[in-house]
Amino acid sequence: MKALILSGGKGTRLRPLTYTGAKQLVPVANKPILWYGIEAIAKAGITDIGIIISPETGEEIKTVTGNGENFGAQITYILQSEPLGLAHAVKTAADFLQTSPFVMYLGDNLIQDDLEQFLDHFQAKSLDSLILLRRVPNPSAFGVATVDDQGKVLALVEKPEHPPSNLALVGLYFFAPTIHQAIANIEPSARGELEITDAIQYLISHGYGVESLQLEGWWLDTGKKDDLLAANQIILDSLVEKNIQGTVDEQSKISGRVTIGPHSQIINSVIRGPVAIGSNCHLENCFIGPYSSIADGVKIRDADLEHSVVLQGASIVAIQQRIVDSVIGKNAKIFPAPCRPQALRFLIGNDSQVELIGPSSYPQD
């Protein structure tokens, strides 16, 4: 059994962050999104992992993630020259997959359920495909399945205008080698992509065994800012335990589940968990509210922050208004403002600088 993780694409929904980096490496609770999938796959006992990468971000993913040794796995990187669909990614990985069954995992998805139960079902029933489903309020944004009472898949359609059900395909699939035959017999869709839903539909139409299971735990697609913040909140709620390795002075107050990495300094600040703070950070005269993740090397002084993600090396100094619901990129800098709105919301890309100005700073007529 092998695994194929899709970590290509252009990440247009998370721009400007993804102009300069891979969306799958954006951290949730200070860990790259991609790593959660690798860990889940390795935990299920699948250690031969192929990762689809793009020309734009592939080298960054390889550098950050490595050869798989840290995950107890072996990683092979596979270049997909253009994002031409999920089925095209499988086709691109044919030499790696060969005749092995495999699990396909979308690298910007987070799934709470353990994969072992799904793998056991797929293998025990010798299926050609097992798909995972979740009921959603907006099925037209997803691939949608129609199933019978036993979970047998009757039909699939990609992003339908009039969905036949509210059962969306989750970014996790199990396939037998027969999927390669199916992909060889489909044509690009109207958007110019080889759709994995069309390949699975081919299996269904030709009498192959395709079943579904519904997820019981949460499923998070982190492709947009608000989705990323929701994922950060859920992961912090689920996984963070109190663990303080840095230094906290006597004037600071820390409550709830807060992690603080080595060599970080907390001075005259209030931190209310769940919060994750990386290593080599300097926080002074701050309030850090719940559901915030602060990566390594961040400096925050004279500022309030909550329900936000701050990436490595960012600097937030002397901001009088509370920052909420924000994603602040690597090495970004935010400067003070003379105006005083109630709150500030940001999605700031890597290496940016933002200087806030008030009405008094504008030229007068």
Q: What's the pLDDT tens digit per position in 34-43?
A: 999 999 999 9
Would residue 7 count as lying in a domain? yes
Judgement on whether residues 191 and 259 belong to the same structural domain of the protein? no
Residue 184 belongs to some domain of the structure? yes
pLDDT tops 90 at residue 359:
no
Distance CA 289, CA 94 (A): 47
Domain holding 255: CATH number? 2.160.10.10
Instruction: Label the pairing between strands 129-135 and 167-175.
Output: antiparallel
Average pLDDT of the chain?
Answer: 87
Least confident stretch, 12-16, 220-224, 293-297, 334-338 = 12-16
Note whether residue 363 is domain-resident. no
User: Does the pLDDT value for residue 228 go beyond 80?
Assistant: yes
Whether residue 223 is found in the same domain as residue 247: no
The proportion of the chain whose per-residue pLDDT surpasses 90, expressed as a percent, equals 58
- The 3-class secondary structure across the chain, one letter per residue, is CEEEEECCCCCHHHCCHHHCCCHHHCEECCEEHHHHHHHHHHHCCCCEEEEEECCCCHHHHHHHHCCCHHHCCEEEEEECCCCCCHHHHHHHCHHHHCCCCEEEEECCEEECCCCHHHHHHHHHCCCCEEEEEEECCCHHHCEEEEECCCCEEEEEEECCCCCCCCEEEEEEEEECCHHHHHHHCCCCCCCCCCCHHHHHHHHHHCCCCEEEEECCCCEEECCCHHHHHHHHHHHHHHHCCCEECCEECCCCEEECCEEECCCCEEECCEEECCEEECCCCEEEEEEECCCEEECCCCEEEEEEEECCEECCCCEEECCCCEEECCEECCCCEEECCCCCCCEECCEECCCCEEECCCHHHCCCC
* Burial of residue 249, with CB atoms counted within 10 A of its CB: 0-12 exposed, 13-18 middle, 19 or more buried: exposed
Residue 235 has pLDDT above 60, yes or no: yes
- pLDDT confidence of residue 365: 38
Q: Over 90: is that where the pLDDT of 198 sits?
A: yes
pLDDT category at 231 given cuts 50, 70, 90 is confident
Inform me whether the pLDDT recorded for 357 exceeds 80.
no
Residue 329 lies in a domain: yes
The per-residue pLDDT for 9 is: 59
Band of pLDDT at residue 363, cut at 50, 70 and 90: very low
pLDDT of residue 364: 40
Q: Are residues 72 and 205 in the same domain?
A: yes
- Domain final position from 234, 265, 282: 234
Q: How far apart are CA 57 and CA 47, in angstroms?
A: 23
pLDDT band of 246, cuts 50, 70, 90: very high
Q: Are residues 214 and 310 in the same domain?
A: no
Q: From CA 306, how far away is CA 329, in angstroms rounded? A: 16
Q: How many domains does the chain have?
A: 2
CB proximity list for 205: less than 8 A, separation 6 or greater:
none
pLDDT for the residue 320: 80
- 8 A C-beta contact, residue 127 and residue 139: no
Domain boundary among 205, 234, 263: 234
Q: Residue 338's domain spans which residues?
A: 242-358
- Asked if residue 215 and residue 116 are part of one domain, the reply reads yes
Among 168, 203, 234, the domain-final residue is 234
